[in-house]
Amino acid sequence: MPLDNVVFWIFAPLSVATAIGMIAVRNSVHAALFLVVNLFTVAVMFLLLDAPFLFAVQIIVYAGAIMVLFLFVIMLLGVDRGDPVGDRLFGQRTMAAILGVAIVAELGTAIRASIGLATRAPGGFDAANPGGNPAALAEVLFRDYLVPFEVTSILLIVAAVAAMVLALRRSRAVTQRELEAPAGDDLAAYGMAPPGAPASMRAASPRSGSGAPGGPR
Amino acid sequence: MRTPIAYFLLLSAILFALGSMTVLLRRNALRIFMGVELQLNAVNLSLVAFSRMHLELDGQILAFFSMVVAAAEVVVGLAIIVAVVRRTSTTVVDRADVLRG
């Protein structure tokens, strides 16, 4: 058995298992950790498919940056916010399982009909990668795809600005009276009613708007 | 390279199905988002597999762009989730059912 076959049959079941684990576990942090392992296994698949540059990018961008962002938000919002138990719709789980099996069956049939289950990748991929994979990718990226690449930079800047605008709390000066106010009032200043407060009080609180996610309403 | 390309595509299909099942089953906005990430990854895998099969680099370039867009999407999406939690103090998507701010 050739080595890449061995690697595939180690990491493909691991990939599926971690994906199932991500769905099944209750705790959000555990789900995020399962997702990290899953992204690593997909990165190994990239390596098997002769894409070492994407392997590195996958680990740096996905398993590094994006998952840290996920974990950061989970910690920020509180780990104990679990999912509510039980189906919202009748038979939701069954229907979702049926849909998942249907997707796999449909795509499997399409793959079998189009390229067949035994088609191996042709050799000579190195010829398509003069100077190694990253150098060849750079050649294509900066020549044929230069305009999309520049548009990407605009997209990233817009995303960063959008995240700041969305996450910004409209701030204002704090008066001495607010500093001396009792704790319950303090919560209201952040746009949150104290835990026992009725909903009407929350809506009527004059300062509840200070928790708005930025921008005039 | 002895592993048939179809195996990678089948793995990609399975991961995509699992991701869409996460989106359908979970009601925590963060978990739904993780499912979307899984779907994006599955599609990336199939793009790279097709790139290998056709001996062209364009599939890898497209996967690269899709990673960039996914990063931007995660940043904005998580910021929206944080904003919604500040407003409604819940991550359950069923309870955040009012479009008005």
- Mutation test of the interface with chain A: which of B30, B54, B84, B88, choosing the one with the most A Cβ atoms within 10 A? B30
Provide the shortest C-alpha distance from residue A170 to chain B (in Å): 12
- Token reading at A79: 């780990």
Q: What is the predicted pLDDT for the residue at A51?
A: 92
Closest residue in A to B72 (Cα) is A159
pLDDT at A131 over 90: no
- Token reading at A215: 């921008």
pLDDT band at A173 (very low <50, low <70, confident <90, very high): low
pLDDT at A112 over 60: yes
Q: What is the predicted pLDDT for the residue at A214?
A: 44
Could you report the predicted ipTM of this complex, rounded to two decimals?
0.92
Q: What is the 3-state secondary structure (H, E, C) of A60-99?
A: HHHHHHHHHHHHHHHHHHCCCCCCCCCCCCCCHHHHHHHH
Structural contact between residues B28 and A81, judged by C-beta atoms closer than 8 angstroms: yes
pLDDT at A129 over 70: yes
Residues of A (90-119) whose Cβ lies below 8 Å from B: 92-93, 95-97, 99-101, 103-104, 107-108, 111-112, 115-119
φ, ψ of residue A159 in degrees (nearest 5): -65, -40
Average confidence (pLDDT) over A66-78: 89
Provide the shortest C-alpha distance from residue A200 to chain B (in Å): 14
- Mutation test of the interface with chain B: which of A25, A29, A42, choosing the one with the most B Cβ atoms within 10 A? A42
pLDDT band at A2 (very low <50, low <70, confident <90, very high): confident
Smallest Cβ distance to B55: which of A42, A81, A125?
A: A125
φ, ψ of residue B79 in degrees (nearest 5): -65, -40
Structural contact between residues A34 and A18, judged by C-beta atoms closer than 8 angstroms: yes
Provide the shortest C-alpha distance from residue A191 to chain B (in Å): 8
- Give the tens place of pLDDT for each residue, A4-15: 889 999 999 999
- Report the alpha-carbon angle A128-A149-A154, nearest 5: 165
Q: Which residue has the higher pLDDT, B65 or B93?
A: B65
Q: What is the predicted pLDDT for the residue at A78?
A: 77
Q: Hunting for tokens 């493909």 — which residue is that?
A: A12
pLDDT band at A204 (very low <50, low <70, confident <90, very high): very low
Cβ distance of A2 and B2 shorter than 8 Å? yes
Closest listed residue to residue B70, CA positions, set B99, B31, B44, B101 = B44
Q: What is the predicted pLDDT for the residue at A48?
A: 92
Provide the shortest C-alpha distance from residue B22 to chain A (in Å): 6
